[in-house]
A and B are shown apart, each in its own frame.
Chain A
């Protein structure tokens, strides 16, 4: 159980393109979803937290207009990297958690490797 599906797994595109990444919880209701970014050999960096139907809460230093997050349903969240540039190239990982019971763990998707040329 607790499967989180993330697509696409790999994206290569030209600078200036907007890229959308989908994150779905397949067998549970994801009350809370998280988006992380990780550069090679570095720690996970939380970008934002979102609750279904609410606006995402972004971490300090993360540009809201650059990284658009939509958590429209209890099973789907999307991250759109708008007008992507080479410095946005990174490993983006979503994570989801069901909060009906206290203290539940969050489960991670397989990640999306984004390369901007």
Chain B
């Protein structure tokens, strides 16, 4: 079992719909959770991070964290074709040197 699991996809949604990306993790000591977006041929860029249970909203993006169930999700409202990318989930223990990344979910938003 991988430490951080994501469905590889591809996840396909129509333009304007809500895209829901999920991530589960195995280390109960994880305290910090991050979502990155990676366009094809580019490096990852940070979208959001969340530390506490519940929802955190930033524009069209909402991160949701449930530590008891060990999952974190990313919702993208009003999806746009420009949101088509691979989304990487990363988790980290507070005092750990490195984060553990999932393999990513590929999202395609169709016009």
- Tell whether A and B belong to one assembly: yes
**A contact residues, total (Cβ < 8 Å):** 19
Instruction: Check if A111 sits within 8 Å of B43, measured CB to CB.
Output: yes
Closest B residue to A41 using CB positions: B40
Closest chain B CB from A47 CB (angstroms): 11
For residue B31, CB closer than 8 A to chain A, the reply is yes
Known contacts: A32-B97, A34-B98, A49-B97. The answer to whether A103 contacts B31 by CB under 8 A is: yes
With A44-B101, A49-B97, A103-B51 in contact, is A108–B92 under 8 Å at CB? Answer: no
B66 contacts partner chain A, Cβ-Cβ < 8 Å: no
Does B104 lie within 8 Å of A43, measured CB to CB? yes
Known contacts A32-B97, A46-B98, A57-B97: A105-B104 contact under CB 8 Å: no
Number of interface residues of B (CB under 8 A): 21
Cβ-neighbour of A105 out of B31, B49, B101 (below 8 A)? B49
Picked from B32, B45, B97, the residue with its CB within 8 Å of the CB of A108 is B45
Contact check, B88 vs A111: say whether CB atoms are below 8 A apart.
Answer: no
Dominant secondary structure of chain B at its interface with chain A: loop
Asked whether, in the complex, the Cβ of A93 is within 8 Å of the Cβ of B43, the reply is yes
A107 in the interface, Cβ–Cβ < 8 Å? Answer: yes
B92 to chain A, nearest CB (A): 7
Instruction: Collect the chain B residues with CB atoms within 8 Å of residue A107's CB.
Output: 46
How far in angstroms is the closest Cβ of chain A from B31? 6
B residues at A contact (CB < 8 Å): 31-32, 34, 36, 42-46, 49, 51, 88, 92, 94-95, 97-99, 101, 103-104
A sample of 24 cross-chain residue pairs with beta-carbon separation below 8 angstroms, ordered by A number, consists of A32-B97, A34-B98, A44-B44, A44-B101, A46-B98, A46-B101, A49-B97, A49-B98, A93-B43, A102-B95, A103-B31, A103-B32, A103-B49, A103-B51, A103-B94, A105-B32, A105-B34, A105-B46, A105-B49, A108-B36, A108-B44, A108-B46, A111-B42, A111-B43
